[in-house]
Amino acid sequence: MTREPFEQEPTILEMIREGMEVYDHDGQQIGTVEQVYFGATAGRTADQGRDAATAANPDVSRDESLVEEFAEIFAAPSKLPEVLRNQLLRRGFIRVDASGLFANDRYVMPNQIAGVSGDRVMLRVSRDELIED
């Protein structure tokens, strides 16, 4: 199969969908994908000039649009420090609905994902190394 000259490989986050099982680097299931967020500067949108730096509406400033985006994604009260929330918004993440009655949800950044195969997301880190909400 030949590829178009400007066709890009899908990013790791584009290969993930809600409901997939998530496993840590030891093969232990830690939960299922609850949400996939591609980030304010996702690869394809940045290449095409449509990332957060380019406002869709010229009357809306970048700060206002990020605040709205932040409020929508983290609608429920969150214990995450603002620095971490901003980093997740910029880089993208998957939110994992953790297994277990009292388990807290976790956030996985793209660089923590080892691969995707079938309905599984494999991580390169342990459950304890993930951002906990």
User: For position 72, what pLDDT does the model report?
Assistant: 57
Question: What percent of the residues of the chain are helix, what percent strand, and what percent coil, each to the nearest 5?
Answer: 25, 25, 50
pLDDT in tens, 68-80: 655 555 555 567 8
Question: Could you tell me if residue 122 is inside a domain?
Answer: yes
Read off the pLDDT of each residue in 35-54 and give the average, rounded to a whole number: 59
- Find the range with the poorest average confidence among 5-14, 17-26, 64-73, 104-113: 64-73
Question: Could you tell me if residue 3 is inside a domain?
Answer: no
Read off the pLDDT of each residue in 3-20 and give the average, rounded to a whole number: 81
Q: Is the pLDDT of residue 32 over 80?
A: yes
Question: Could you tell me if residue 7 is inside a domain?
Answer: no
Residue 69: give the domain boundaries. 13-132
Q: Please give the model's pTM, rounded to 2 decimal places.
A: 0.69
